[in-house]
Amino acid sequence: MKLYDYKAGPNPRRVRIYLAEKGVEIPLVNVDIMKREQKSPEFLKKNPIGSIPVLELDDGTCISESVAICRYIEETHPEPPLFGRAPKEKAIVEMWLRRVELNFMMPVGMVWIHGHPLTAKLIKQIPEAAEQNRKRVHMGYKLLDDQLSQTTFIAGDAYSVVDAVALGSLDFANSLVGVPYGDDLPNLKRWHDAVSARPSAQA
């Protein structure tokens, strides 16, 4: 197996954090997205969408999308379980995965696409879309802060794949995208400090 990766990308980082929590090591192959290597004809044979990460299995099968890669690893390395154990736990993890993706990472991505100088070189930006989604990002932060007022981690009191996904997304929003959360969200800050202190956060 090999994992096609890009160090600065939030989606590849999700997978690296998850793998570190699982204790699974997979050789990494760097794909420089700033040089558009993910859009090369050779890479498009592995993933026609031209995105990373991509997990290439020993038989040549290629799995893209960060959560799908994590699910494959969960099936092949079930311990420790990061997608939940019992049906209720699994459903809650799935629910919060969707909430993080739709209510947080999606608007972060829109701010990145329509409001960052780097992406201005690639597409025709719509500044109004960036501004509208900045507000949605802060709504996503508030959603997480409210949840974390009741739980240790996002999907409950045990670390899960949701925390790996959210950390990669939140650090991307705070740093490169420039949409940080405010001091008025103490529960989110407590969680962020705690998950950032885990060894997996350095993966």
Instruction: Please report the domains of the chain, with CATH numbers, ordered by start residue.
Output: 2-76 (3.40.30.10), 87-202 (1.20.1050.10)
pTM, whole model, 2 decimals? 0.93
> How far apart are the C-alpha atoms of 96 and 73, rounded to whole Å?
19
My answer on whether omega of the bond before 53 falls inside 30° of 0, hence cis, is yes
Q: Does position 123 have pLDDT exceeding 90, yes or no?
A: no
- H or E element at residue 118: helix 117-120
| Contact of 155 with 136, CB cutoff 8 Å | no
The pLDDT tens digits of the residues spanning 12-59 come to 999 999 999 999 999 999 999 888 899 999 999 999 999 999 999 999
Count of H-run helices and E-run strands, the chain: 9, 4
Indicate if the alpha-carbon torsion angle 64, 188, 84, 1 is positive or negative. Answer: positive
pLDDT of residue 34: 81
Percent of the chain residues past pLDDT 90, beyond the cut: 93
